[in-house]
Amino acid sequence: MSQPISRRGFVLGAGAATAAILTTRRGLSSPATEQRVNIDLAKETGTVRPELHGHFAEHLGSCVYGGLWVGKNSKIPNINGHRKQAVDYLKGLIPVLRWPGGCFADDYHWRDGIGAAAKRPKDVNLHWGMYTEDNSYGTHQFIELCRLIGAEPYLAGNVGSGTPQELRDWMEYCNYPKGSSLSDERAANGSPEPFNVKYWGVGNENWGCGGNMTGDEYATVYRRFATYLRRFGETQPFLIACGPNGNNKEWTQKFWGNMRGGRPSGFAMHFYSNGRGNTATHFTLEDMRQQFASFPNIEMAIVEQRALLDTMAPPNPRLGPVGLLLDEWGVWDRMDPEEEKKYGRLFQQITIRSAIAAALGLNVIHRQAGKLVMTNIAQMVNVLHALLLTDEDKCVRTTTYYVYEFTKAHLGQLSVQTESGAAGAMELSVSASRKDKDVTITLVNPKPDVTLNVNCSLAGGSAAGATARILHDADLNAANTFATPDRVVPQALKVTVQGGTVTAELPPLSVATLLVKLA
Ligand code: AHR
């Protein structure tokens, strides 16, 4: 198993000195271990850009239809067809939202989703079940959702089965202010103001469902598409090329080996954490260990792909470096066929184990903030690693929702270096960031049976006070279901500040975020 890259080892009690037997919130006892963490406030590793907490919504299962979108005539409370409860929950939590796919993007024709809904063509969603897609949810609906929840839109264009003209026309339709036929058509469809979309994906997984190309073949296709993707209005488009599957270096080398001029602003890799064993609510400890082992590999992939990019596409003096994105990540468990039948493709329950996985991923992302420009967990509602699950009029906030809610405090802050004696996927995971007198620390205890008494010392500052929230359940399969929507919700966590250091007790299977005020 590979080790996290950024945490260099000094061992202070990790795995040693069992201090006491503590009693968890649910009354079970677990041995406790002292764990020191050093946070160096002067060693900055990059800004935690809001886009690092991005999300993804695809026309897949019930993510869009039935999840986010219930339609204007639904009995379910809605705002112009958008599920009101989802809008309320997601408002302010989603800095950027990628749509319409995924694999769906490379078979999507944007013109089918504009104009009078009744006249829109019916297509077949060939990647996700061959059902008929009535296109009632299209560009205007997506942009409206983004405006409602305060998200920056990120449109993934069709390269696999589309043409350069189709994609450049979508860009003109969205961003040209007025006076062209396409911008006037947008106005006639109810949106006189341009959408000013900044983020544009030039295809998705073009090594697979986006056309089955090799890296060098895709580079040729990319260049051809990008030639026509221009600044149509006040917004300079940020073009995102398809990056590797996981840490596939050959794809990256072949792409950049065949990239001459007109290079993309971003390069997007995908890295899922598969659960090969049991379904989401039947995970064993071994299933969990195997899934968590992916996070050190994700961290290594970020570091190695960044280094490759910097070698093969050195930072441009005017434009800076090519941005690295992780625009699909998250847990992908074994699906329960009955649940998929009821709730749609790739529906899985989200447990405390999924929340810990989300926090392990976010800690990697925070630690490597300087190497990334965006990440998008897959997906926002009812699909894979979801924030919300819906069933008719019910809308449940998952454990992962709460992880995003309380780690939001890192956004806009400077990530700083952390060191603990713990290295390895099942050890304490830490990330920290600061702004002025505020320090945010996220601690994750993935151990199923050990409480960690974590003592954080701050080099370059002294803590004057702190508050914290924790998400925890002793049962790794505990979830917020439609029957028990509030089984796992954040609680206040007691933190002690003494002599400028901060101490908190993390029970097994827990995630905590500490908000520290410096003296
Ligand atoms: O998120 C589900 C699918 O995973 C996406 O459509 C595709 O891009 C990836 O393989």
Q: Using the atom order of ligand 1, give the atom closest to the CA of residue 58.
A: 6
Tens digits of pLDDT across the chain (519 residues): 233 333 222 222 222 223 344 444 444 567 889 999 999 999 999 999 999 999 999 999 999 999 999 999 999 999 999 999 999 999 999 999 999 999 999 999 999 999 999 999 999 999 999 999 999 999 999 999 999 999 999 999 999 999 999 999 999 999 999 999 999 999 999 999 999 999 999 999 999 999 999 999 999 999 999 999 999 999 999 999 999 999 999 999 999 999 988 899 999 999 999 998 899 999 999 999 999 999 999 999 999 999 999 999 998 888 899 999 999 999 999 999 999 999 999 999 999 999 999 999 999 999 999 999 999 999 999 999 999 999 999 999 999 999 999 999 999 999 999 999 878 999 999 999 999 999 999 999 999 999 999 999 999 999 999 999 999 999 999 999 999 999 999 999 999 999 889 999 999 999 999 999 999
What is the 419 CA–ligand 1 centroid distance (Å)? 34
488 touches ligand 1 (CB under 6 Å): no
103 touches ligand 1 (CB under 6 Å): yes
- Asked if 486 contacts 480 with a C-beta cutoff of 8 angstroms, the reply is yes
Q: What are phi and psi of 513, to 5 degrees?
A: -120, 125
Residues in the chain: 519
Atom 3 (ligand 1): residue with closest C-alpha?
102
63 touches ligand 1 (CB under 6 Å): no
15 preceded by a cis bond (ω within 30 of 0): no
328 touches ligand 1 (CB under 6 Å): yes
What is the 290 CA–ligand 1 centroid distance (Å)? 21
Q: Which residues are catalytic?
A: 205, 328
CA angle 313, 315, 321 (to 5 degrees): 95
Strands (E), 321-478: 323-334, 374-378, 388-391, 394-397, 414-420, 429-435, 438-445, 451-459, 463-472
What is the 209 CA–ligand 1 centroid distance (Å)? 9
pLDDT confidence of residue 29: 64
204 touches ligand 1 (CB under 6 Å): yes
pLDDT confidence of residue 28: 52
105 touches ligand 1 (CB under 6 Å): no
User: Measuring CA to CA, how many Å separate 302 from each of 125, 275, 305, 366?
Assistant: 32, 21, 5, 12
DSSP state of 12: S
User: Measuring CA to CA, how many Å separate 199 from each of 168, 266, 322, 346, 347?
Assistant: 13, 9, 14, 26, 27
pLDDT confidence of residue 276: 82
- Asked if 447 contacts 508 with a C-beta cutoff of 8 angstroms, the reply is yes
Between CA 131 and CA 129 the distance in angstroms is 5
pLDDT confidence of residue 318: 87
Ligand 1 pocket mutation, candidates 159, 205, 325, criterion most atoms within 8 A of CB: 205
DSSP state of 256: H
What is the 498 CA–ligand 1 centroid distance (Å)? 47
Q: Using the atom order of ligand 1, give the atom closest to the CA of residue 208.
A: 10
pLDDT confidence of residue 458: 97
What is the 245 CA–ligand 1 centroid distance (Å)? 11
What is the 277 CA–ligand 1 centroid distance (Å)? 20
Ligand 1 pocket mutation, candidates 59, 63, 103, 207, criterion most atoms within 8 A of CB: 103
Select from 231, 224, 240 the least CA-distant residue to 154.
240
Between CA 372 and CA 392 the distance in angstroms is 37
Ligand 1 pocket mutation, candidates 270, 381, 382, criterion most atoms within 8 A of CB: 270
